[in-house]
C-alpha cells in the first residue's frame, strides 16, 4: 500500500520510460552518380536481428519493370551495411554491395530475358530502393514498406560529346571526354543498336574503354594512348 502511495507522489520525470525506437531509414550514397560507380547502402532503425527484405525497382525507357530482392538480418544495433553484411536469400546470397543492381531482372508480368540498358545516355536510370518487413521472395507479395530511397544512375557526364560512327560496315558511337583528349580509339561495332552503357561512363572519366564485342582497328599501344570511349550506336 505505502509503495503505491509513494509511486503516486513521484514526479513525472522520475518515471522511467522505454527509449523510443528510431524510424527506419535507408541511405544510399552517392544518391546520383555514374552507372559503373559503386554505391554504399545502409539501413538503420531496425530491431536487433530483425529480418527484412531489401528490394530494388527500376524501369527502362519503354516502361518495362525490373526488380531484385535480397534477405537480410539487422545486427545487434539494428543496422545493416550491404558492404559487410551477407544476404541469406532472395536473388543472391553472400556479401554483395552491388547485388541489388546486377541482379535486376524483368518483373513477373514482363517478357523474360530482357536487359536493362539505356537507349539514351543523356537520361539517368532511376532505381528505387525499398526496405520491406520480413522475408519475401521475388514475385511474391512483399511485407509493408519500412523505408525507401531513390538513386540516379547516369551514363554520361556534362561535357562528354557523342559522335556517331558510320563507315562501311562500322557502326558505333565515339564518346569524347571534356577538355583535352588524346587520339581516338575507333572500334568495329558489329551490333546495330548496341547500347553505350559501358563506354559513356568511362569517357566521362577520361578513360579509353572498349564496348563489349568490338575489335580494335588500331594497335593496342595506340588504343591505350587514347582518351575516348567508343560504344555501339
Neighbours of 58 (CB within 10 A): 19
Decide if pLDDT at 119 tops 80. no
Residue 79 has pLDDT above 60, yes or no: yes
Q: What is the mean pLDDT of residues 15-21?
A: 57
- CA–CA distance, 40 with 83 (Å, rounded to integer): 7
pLDDT for res 160? 78
Answer whether residue 1 shows pLDDT above 90. no
Q: What is the pLDDT of residue 158?
A: 74
Establish how many alpha carbons lie within 13 A of residue 163's alpha carbon, considering only the half-sphere containing its beta carbon: 12
pLDDT interval class at 72 (50, 70, 90): very high
Nearest to 52 by CA among 71, 78, 28: 71
d(CA 52, CA 80): 10
Of 92-96, 128-132, 139-143, the one with minimum mean pLDDT is 139-143
pLDDT band at 84 (very low <50, low <70, confident <90, very high): very high
Across the range 53-74, mean pLDDT stands at 92
Mean pLDDT of 84-89: 96
% of the chain with per-residue pLDDT over 70? 67
pLDDT at 178 exceeding the cut of 60: yes
**What is the rounded average pLDDT of the residues 69-79?**
96
Arithmetic mean of pLDDT over the chain: 76
Q: Which residue has the higher pLDDT, 91 or 179?
A: 91
Distance from the Cα of residue 220 to its chain's centroid: 32
> Which residues, in sequence order, are CB contacts of 50 under 8 Å at separation 6+?
73, 74, 78
pLDDT (tens digit, 9 = 90+) per residue, 139-172?
A: 778 999 999 999 999 888 777 777 888 888 877 8
pLDDT value at residue 224 = 36
* pLDDT score of 183 more than 80: no
Distance in angstroms (rounded) separating the CA atoms of residues 180 and 206: 9
Amino acid at each position: 500500500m505505502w509503495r503505491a502511495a509513494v509511486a503516486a507522489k513521484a514526479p513525472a520525470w522520475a518515471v522511467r520510460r522505454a527509449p523510443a525506437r528510431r524510424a527506419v531509414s535507408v541511405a544510399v550514397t552517392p544518391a546520383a552518380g555514374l552507372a559503373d560507380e559503386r554505391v554504399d547502402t545502409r539501413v538503420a532503425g531496425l530491431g536487433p536481428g530483425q529480418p527484412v527484405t531489401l528490394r530494388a525497382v527500376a524501369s527502362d525507357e519503354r516502361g518495362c519493370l525490373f526488380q531484385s530482392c535480397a534477405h537480410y538480418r539487422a545486427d545487434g544495433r539494428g543496422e545493416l551495411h550491404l558492404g559487410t553484411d551477407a544476404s541469406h536469400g532472395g536473388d543472391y546470397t553472400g556479401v554483395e554491395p552491388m547485388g541489388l543492381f546486377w541482379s535486376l531482372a524483368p518483373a513477373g508480368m514482363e517478357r523474360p530475358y530482357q536487359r536493362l540498358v539505356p537507349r539514351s545516355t543523356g537520361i539517368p536510370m532511376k532505381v528505387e530502393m525499398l526496405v520491406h518487413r520480413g522475408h519475401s521472395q521475388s514475385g511474391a507479395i512483399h511485407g509493408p514498406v519500412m523505408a525507401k530511397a531513390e538513386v540516379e544512375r547516369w551514363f554520361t557526364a556534362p561535357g562528354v560529346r557523342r559522335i556517331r560512327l558510320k563507315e562501311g560496315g562500322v557502326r558505333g558511337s565515339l564518346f569524347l571526354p571534356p577538355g583535352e583528349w588524346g587520339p581516338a580509339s575507333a572500334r568495329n561495332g558489329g551490333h546495330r543498336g548496341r547500347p553505350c552503357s559501358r563506354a559513356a561512363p568511362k569517357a566521362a572519366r577520361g578513360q579509353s574503354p572498349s564496348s563489349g564485342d568490338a575489335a580494335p582497328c588500331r594497335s593496342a599501344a595506340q588504343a591505350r594512348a587514347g582518351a575516348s570511349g567508343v560504344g555501339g550506336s
